[in-house]
Structure 1
């Protein structure tokens, strides 16, 4: 086989794979809509860790930081629900609109790399991987990076290849998108550091460094990040402290191993489908179809020399993260791998086209014929998962977040006619369900209203406003009496805090449960509610 050129616009012999029969963006949009519906049906609630409710709580007011994460995803959630109703299906729609924008970024990156119609196939193929389907249903700090990274990489190539005002505009956008990556999650620093490899190893990248464009992008990046850094500095470096707490300070080899395998664990269906289809479409060699499949699998990951821009875009985030884990700088979490594979499918397709372009063309045609049947199988699996969760009585599926939120707010209004409930503390971030499902203008605070996280989230005059503390008690076969309320950490903190202020510490216990054909079991959940009336005296 002839040597492969390292150029961004490498020329390939053989036929150009045909474009999808339908416009790729229409196929992707329909698939994303279907995945949004499947995720809503299969899960019953938003997510078990309450990340999405946490996002909504932070979105209630515009701030340049939070006590945990940078603020971009809270801004996105706030903008989304300024237009859409506060429902689970609308939130899932946001999750998969995020995926569609991510796929558009992958297609744009593929075009910048000179991949032709493979750019479209690279976007579509990602919809057979877990980060863009099952895992994408939870919109959080990891999944919001799915669109940011490919669009930033595409703008890097646009900046170094353009000149004049086009190059200047691309550089400004590159700086803004790079800042957005950091405002999404500090982990994006690994991605941005990984961009240095193609810049320094490719001749065009090195020439770009001798122009004003990278420095314009760097200046825009710094200016866009400055308000967040200023906020963090004025608030005790809270966000950076939370990020630092995630570092283990030692090498945890089981976490390193899991992250090392994440490209296969998370992208396995798409990679296997492509490699097996390519092997089946290719010529039979000595050793047969199995040997062809092994060769395709191996070839799909190989670089085309040291200056291979696409390889470094695909490989650098994974390799750098793994290096930090081995060095003990960070205790790796496998969900961090969700955004790293934005260029994987483009790499596979380019390499397999170089291996046998005719076989790739046939393989893609077969995969397109399997597109809608595969989605039908996914739909059947989603319905099966929902049925299994319903019949086995899984608590996360039956948790009555909407019903409980509305019952709690209505109960408070019935007991305090003519008064306004202004804030809700207690169990973070499940307490945000009161605002999301029942009272949108209700401020949600983490834990107790005088805690540091609460002051960073909502520095309002809580002492002069009516509020409550919410402590979920979980599923119960029979609602407990107040004297029998479980001594959870939330309940104990609420009671101690109220007692120190001379306030009644006995909770009001309310129950709620899901109803309808999708919830055949009777599974009541209990919630302890503590009133905090306005003008609570200091201890």
Structure 2
């Protein structure tokens, strides 16, 4: 059996490791800045599902939970925009800063596994994978885990080896990082369950489990979760209800298959590039046929060195445990959940292929991969800009959606129609209405749906009745087909997801305003995006309802 990878790096570091670290830092920072700029130029808006506006709305107040997700990533958004301006470029910079922090964690993990010499190439390969590039642009609960999971793995491996003051620090860090993972997305439970397997597979891990130290980390984890658990109880377990809606007890075979194939889609190009380059080096060294070397490399890249192979278990357990839960019908798997699972993939491929190729072959293969880094990045920029230009020429709605201009126009409309009354809150379509707070005035409180109806009541805006408010119903591009329905019938339980059902939004807003003794007819705004990035005229319409407070500030 091949000896397992040691957990601990040598205390003395070779001088070449310093230059490798500098190269790694430069590689990550350049990619983060390039992707931030590229997304800002090629994409006309934030994500089409409004996840990022939703995050910003949740971040307006500090809460221990939301009606959909645990709150950690919203806290991150709140802290970020306490420093940065509310602009698309700043949000994208947050998204790729999150990537950079995660890649830094992967580099530290490589040192913990005595694989520091592979770290620059491992990070380069991750930068050729979708979760760290295109998918990372949408900062949400899934992408938040890109930064948290690697560092939590580092904390586990370091804690197992630490005692005394260092042990206290790392076990507290392990508990806090594990809590941050769980408070970002409950799905992190499968990642944390895998830690038990990682510990059990090694002798020092088993000794650690029998010591008091894991209980310290577990106690910190539990204490950090207590406020969220109290919030859950007070909110009738709203977040858990949303999570439980993701499955009905039956095995969703189609979703299971999609999740199983997702790693091939998300990391496939990076994996194939890595294996192909090593196969070409092996061909020159051993006269082995390239296709045969490629086929062997595909298997070798995933091969464990033994049952106590820490790196192998870190790489395969998150996806494997997820598939088991999906097979059992505990949940219907969603492909975006796989975004954080591959943080250790490239390290595993490189370690295994390097062992097969030998030191000289490994160095040669890694040099070839790094020579491709800048041409690939240049190609990415060219393709990204071409994609943005194509969307602009085709009049793609996501590109032309005039969120920022609409926010400014709605604010100007309010000042004209209700002079002297500050606009205090926005409701209606969620999370579309948060565009007012993000693009126009961050003091405007964005509410999901209606201010006195759940889920807005989970984080109530106490003064809504005495403040001015608008209810926003985006009607979409002018001329786009809309769902036909009878908007005169009494609405059912008010919804928040009105983006694709504007008629339902109009009906619910009218019904609610009638109960408040307010005017029920909206003003329809037509907004057109202009500028060199928007050569076509693609008008969008928004229905704006006004809530005028019975007691205005001037009358008090």
TM-score, normalised by the number of residues in structure 1: 0.94
Alignment correspondent of 1:418? 420
Partner of 2:112: 112
Deviations along 1:226-260, one digit per CA (max 9) or x if unpaired, are: 11111111111111111111123211111111111
Q: 1:10 to 1:174 in 2, by over 3 A?
A: closer
Counterpart of 2:400 (choices 383, 398, 401) is: 398
Q: Determine the C-alpha separation between the residues in 1 that align with 2:275 and 2:533.
A: 39
> Match for residue 182 of structure 1?
182
In the TM superposition, what whole-angstrom CA distance separates every residue of 1:442-488 from its partner, at most 9, and x where no partner exists? 0000011111111113332211211110000001159x9xxx99961
Query: Alpha-carbon deviations, 1:77-113, whole Å to 9, x = none?
Result: 0110111110000000000000000000111111111
- The alpha carbon displacement at 1:322 in A equals 0.5
Matched, 1:526 2:541: yes
Displacement, 1:6?
2.2
- Partner-residue secondary structure (3-state), 1:296: helix
Alignment partner of 1:146: what SS? helix
Does the aligned pair in 2 maintain the 1:443–1:458 contact within 8 Å?
no
Cα distance in 2 for residues equivalent to 1:397 and 1:434:
19
Query: SS of the counterpart of 2:427?
Result: strand
Q: Counterpart of 1:314? A: 315
Distance 1:444 1:248 in 2: 32
Task: List aligned pairs for 1:165-204, cutoff 5 A.
Answer: 165-204=165-204
Contact kept, 8 Å, 2:5 with 2:113, in 1: the verdict is no
Structure 2 distance, partners of 1:465, 1:37, is 39
- Tell me if structure 2 keeps the 8 A contact 1:84–1:90: yes
Q: What is residue 497 of structure 1 aligned with on the other side?
A: 512
Q: Secondary structure at the match of 2:141?
A: coil
Counterpart in the other structure of 1:219: 219
Measured in 1, the distance between the counterparts of 2:502 and 2:299 equals 56
- Residue 84 of structure 2 aligns to a residue in which SS? coil
Distance of 2:35 and 2:272 partners within structure 1:
21
Deviation, 1:212, is: 2.1
Consecutive unaligned residues of structure 2, counting only runs of 5 or more, are 10-14, 489-500, 552-556
Q: Distance in 2 between matches of 1:28 and 1:522?
A: 38
Matched with 1:511 is 526
After TM superposition, give the deviation of residue 514 of structure 1 in Å: 0.9
CA contact (8 A) 1:477 1:524 kept: no
Question: Residue 17 of structure 1 contacts residue 361 of structure 1 at CA under 8 Å; is this kept in 2?
Answer: no
Matches within 5 A, 1:438-449: 438-449=440-451
Rounded Cα–Cα distance in structure 1 between residues aligned with 2:397 and 2:283? 52
1:98-140 C-alpha deviation (Å, 9 max, x unpaired): 0000000111111111112113322232101000000000000
The 1:238/1:169 distance shift into structure 2, 3 A limit, reads same
* 1:336 correspondence with 2:334: no
* Aligned residue pairs, count: 527
What does residue 463 of structure 1 align with? Answer: 465
Alpha-carbon displacement from aligned partner over 1:416-458 (angstroms, at most 9, x marks no partner): 2221110000000010000000011000000111111111133
- Residue aligning to 2:6: 8
- 1:238 maps to what in 2? 238
Contact 1:446 1:457 in 2 (8 A): no
**Cα displacement (A) at 1:211:** 2.2
Structure 2: distance between partners of 1:487 and 1:276: 50
From the superposition, tell whether residues 62 and 235 of structure 1 become closer, same or farther in structure 2 (CA, over 3 Å): same
State how 1:340-489 maps to structure 2 within 5 Å.
340-357=341-358, 358-476=360-478, 488-489=503-504
Whole-angstrom CA distance in 2 between matches of 1:402 and 1:116:
45
Cα deviation per residue 1:392-412 (whole Å; 9 max; x = unaligned)?
A: 110000000000000001110
